[in-house]
Amino acid sequence: MGSDVLPCYVACDISLSMADHIEELNRGLREFRGAVHADASVADRVLCSVIGFGEEPAAVHGLYLTGEVAELPPPSPCAGTNFGPVFTFLRSAIDTDIRLLETHRVRVHRPLVFFLSDGQPTDPVTWPAAFSSLCDPAWPRRPRVVAFGVGDADEEALGRIGTFRTYLGRDGVRLGTALIASVMHVLSTSGPPPGRTLS
């Protein structure tokens, strides 16, 4: 592991509404994994965790080197897509992971969260409070959040979530490209990666 690392959390909607997009997301994860693994300058600096969510979030795997990133499971039978629980899950996971890394004297970049969904939450009233807690400016471990919309994504919801950048698959942007661009920009500059800013 490098002396400085970037923790990345890929939170993927795997509810029934995403059934037609899971293979697209897995292709993006494979492309991301291959690109990071092939670049010796970043291969041991990027750690990645994958989280699937529908009604409730569940870790597909914890924070590993990107070359070990697993693929997403098939969509769950649940019809719900609750955003709030995954934001609460992310805050807890980030806090735990960074505490552990810091005990090993590893310099940790501010985390990066990739939030992938068709952007139609079934908890529209309650998720904003959980998201505000995740991105609380008073919390030093708050992540940069990149939102990636697939299918008939709800631009308004994703625009509120993508604090760092928002991409839409229907614009022709591939998931792998968005993941790679975001990681490389965080490692090389404090500015956001290129992409679409939603108004």
Does the residue 38 lie in any domain?
A: yes
Say how far apart CA 65 and CA 183 lie, in whole Å: 13
What pLDDT was estimated at residue 173?
87
Does the residue 195 lie in any domain?
A: no
pLDDT in tens, 70-102: 677 776 666 688 999 999 999 999 999 999 998
What pLDDT was estimated at residue 97?
94
Does the residue 110 lie in any domain?
A: yes
Domain count, the chain: 1
**pTM to 2 decimal places:** 0.90
CATH of the domain at 25: 3.40.50.410
**With pLDDT > 70 as the criterion, what percentage of the chain qualifies?**
87
Domain of residue 49, residue span = 4-188
Say how far apart CA 38 and CA 51 lie, in whole Å: 24
pLDDT average, residue stretch 119-130: 91
Enter the DSSP assignment of 54.
S
pLDDT in tens, 14-62: 888 888 888 888 888 889 888 888 888 888 889 999 999 999 999 988 8
Neighbours of 99 (CB within 10 A): 11
In sequence order, which residues have a C-beta less than 8 Å from that of residue 68 and are 6 or more positions away? 61
